[in-house]
Amino acid sequence: MATKTESIKAAAAGTRLRDLPRNVWAVGLTSFFMDISSEMVINLLPLFLAEVLGVRKEIIGVIEGGADWAASFFKLFSGWFSDKARERKWLAVLGYAMSAAAKPFFYVASSWGWIAGARWGDRVGKGVRTAPRDALLADSVRPEQRGLAFGLHRAMDTAGAMLGLVIALIVVLVIQRADPNLAKHTFQVIVLISLIPAVLAVVSLAVGAQEVPVTKQRPAPKFAFASLGKPFIIFMAIVTVFTLGNSSDAFLTLRAQERGLNIAGILGMLITFNLVYTLISTPAGSLSDRIGRRRLIVGGWLAYAVIYTGFGLVQTGWQVWVLYTLYGIYYGMAYGTASALIADIVPEAVRGTAYGTYNAALSVAGLIASIVAGALWQNVSPAAPFLFGGVLALVAAALMQFWMPKVELAS
C-alpha cells in the first residue's frame, strides 16, 4: 500500500504550471516587480559605499549584516501573527509598502549612516512581508504542487532581478560610458527609476492576491520554537551551520571588483547569474516534488561549496564572472526547495510561525556571517571569507544527508 508521501509524489508527476492557482501568479508578479526595483539599487550599494563614500569593508559587512538583523524580529513576529490572525495577504502588502517607502532615502544619502538607515528600513519591510507571503503561497497549493509553486516564485523573483540589473547596466552605459567606477549621479538616477516597479509590486499583491479562508477549526498558535516539531528544529540547526558561511553577496561584488571587473562587467556578471537562477528554479522545484527536497538541497549546497572555494582561489575578473554565473545553480536548486520543505514538515496552522522563525534565524546567522567575512577580508585575506564558506557548506551538506529525518509530508 502506497504511503501518503508516495501518493503525493505520484500526483506531482502530472502537475503543470497551468494548474497553479491565481495566488501563485499574483505573489510571483509582486516579487518580479519588487526585485526589479531592489536589484537595481542593492547590488550597487557596496560599490557606492566603497567608491563614492570611501567606507571600509568591515563597515560594509556591518551594514549588510545589520540589514538582516533589523528584519529578524519582524520576520519572526509577522509569521506568528499571520497564524494567530489568520491573515496573510495584508501583512505581506504592508511589508512591500514599507520597502517601497524606504527607496527614496537612497537618493538623498550622503553618508554611510543614511545608507544603513535606508537599507535597514527596506529590510524591515522584507521582514514584515516574507513569512506571511510564503505561508500564503503554501496555503494556496496542494502538497504535490509545493515544489513547483515555490520554484516558479523564485524564477519570477529572479527574472525581475535580472531585468533590474539590465536596466541598471543601460543607465551606467548611457551616463558613464567608459568610466570604470560608479558615480553618485548614476546611482541617484537608478534609485529614481527603481521607484516605479516598487509601487507596481505593492499594487500587484493588493489587487491580484486573495486571502485563503480557514475551513477548519484550529487552536491559536503558540509563540514557541518547540511547537514547530523536531524535524523543523533539526532543519533549522543545519541551515544555521550553512548560513554562518554564507555572507552577504556584497562580498562577491567586491571580489569581482578586486579581481579587475569594472562596473559594467559586474552588472553583466549579475545578469548572467540571475539568468541561470531563473532557468533552474522552476524545473528544480518540480523535480523536488518527485524525488524529494533533501537531494536538491544537498546537491545545491555541494555546488555552493565548490563554487565558493573557487571564489577564494580566482586570479582574474573573468574567472569570477564564470563562477558567479554557476552560483545560480546553487540558488536554483536549494533556495526555493528549502521553502517548500518547511511546508512539508510543519502543520498548516503554524506555517507562518515556521517561515518567520526560518527567516529570522537566517537573518541572525547572516549578520554573524557578514561581520566574520568583513573581518576575514580585512585582516586575513580577500580569499578567506570564501574558503571559510565553502568548508561550512560541506559540513551542512553532510548534516542534511545523514542527520535530517525523513518525514511524511504535512497537508
Every domain of the chain and the residues it spans: 20-212+228-402
pLDDT tens across 75-84, in order? 778 888 888 8
Least confident span in 9-18, 28-37, 49-58: 9-18
Average confidence (pLDDT) over 251-269:
87
pLDDT tens across 12-24, in order? 444 567 778 899 9
Whole-number Å distance between alpha carbons of 352 and 214: 14
Average confidence (pLDDT) over 47-59:
78
Q: Which residue has the higher pLDDT, 68 or 252?
A: 252
Q: Which residue has the higher pLDDT, 159 or 182?
A: 159
Average confidence (pLDDT) over 285-313:
92
Confidence tier at 10 by pLDDT (50, 70, 90): very low
The confidence score (pLDDT) of residue 156 equals: 94
Q: Three cell numbers at 250?
A: 556584497
pLDDT at residue 2 greater than cutoff 90: no
Q: Kindly report the pTM of this predicted structure.
A: 0.76
R_g of the chain computed on alpha carbons: 20
Q: Which residue has the higher pLDDT, 62 or 174?
A: 174
The confidence score (pLDDT) of residue 398 equals: 96
Q: What is the CATH number of domain 20-212+228-402?
A: 1.20.1250.20
Q: If you ran DSSP here, which 8-state letter would residue 111 be given?
A: S
Pick from 157, 90, 95: nearest CA to 124 = 95
Q: What 3-state class would DSSP assign to 403?
A: coil
pLDDT tens across 142-155, in order? 888 888 999 899 89
Q: How many residues does the chain have?
A: 411
Confidence tier at 214 by pLDDT (50, 70, 90): low
Q: Three cell numbers at 239?
A: 541551515
Q: Three cell numbers at 204?
A: 500587484
The confidence score (pLDDT) of residue 251 equals: 87
Pick from 136, 119, 73: nearest CA to 363 = 73
pLDDT tens across 122-177, in order? 888 988 998 899 989 988 988 888 889 998 998 999 899 889 989 988 998 888 87
The confidence score (pLDDT) of residue 240 equals: 94
Confidence tier at 315 by pLDDT (50, 70, 90): very high
pLDDT tens across 334-373, in order? 888 888 899 888 887 788 888 888 888 887 888 789 889 9
Confidence tier at 407 by pLDDT (50, 70, 90): low
Q: Three cell numbers at 23?
A: 495566488
